[in-house]
Amino acid sequence: MDLSKIMTISGKPGLYKMIAETRNGFVAESLLDGRKIPVFPTDRSSILEDISVFTLEKDVPLKNVLWKIYEQNDGKPAINAKQATPDEIRQAFEEILPDYDKDRVYISDMKKIFIWYGILLEKDMISKPEDPEVGEEENTDTGTDTEDKKDTSQDKEKPDGGKAGTTTGKKSSK
């Protein structure tokens, strides 16, 4: 599964595919409705390839988590995260990744992963990772680990007062 050109953009719904570079950024196409939008360096965007999930031992790349969801659901849609309760989301995520770090991975992170899974499944973009261990040692920091930025969402307060379960590809100080 190649997630190197698939991204999420802060403040915009769904996932986007990078389709062209411009001198001021790049053009991305929405996987939801096919609209093309300009993405500038000041936009907070994260490539899905760079995201991993915090666990108690070592972090798991997002592509491996998506594959586990796919296997668990036999290639069918997973829980509807938009309508599920937080307890249902947590329970479904624990079935997929039982050793996730409960202090650093929030319900909002889990919800995003299930929503992203649904979008990628609909577009038939989920396949078995070539090497499930690849990237686990590189991305050693995330609830959902995002690309390198000056300010990490891990350091920002969430609206509910907790810290975000996502970081930006930086090495963990574990």
In this predicted model, what pLDDT tens digit does every residue of 128-162 receive, in sequence order?
A: 887 645 444 444 344 554 444 334 344 444 444 44
Asked if pLDDT for residue 164 goes beyond 60, the answer is: no
Q: Delimit the domains of the chain by residue range.
A: 48-174
Tell me how far apart the alpha carbons of residues 15 and 159 are, in angstroms, rounded to a whole number: 23
The CATH number assigned to the domain with range 48-174 reads 1.10.10.1650
Asked if pLDDT for residue 74 goes beyond 60, the answer is: yes
Percent of the chain with pLDDT over 90: 70
At 9 the pLDDT is 95
Asked if pLDDT for residue 174 goes beyond 80, the answer is: no
- Tokens 């590189």 identify what position? 138
pTM score > 0.85 for this model?
no
53 pLDDT band (50/70/90 cuts)? very high
Element spanning 25, H or E: strand 25-30
Tell me how far apart the alpha carbons of residues 164 and 159 are, in angstroms, rounded to a whole number: 10
At 138 the pLDDT is 42
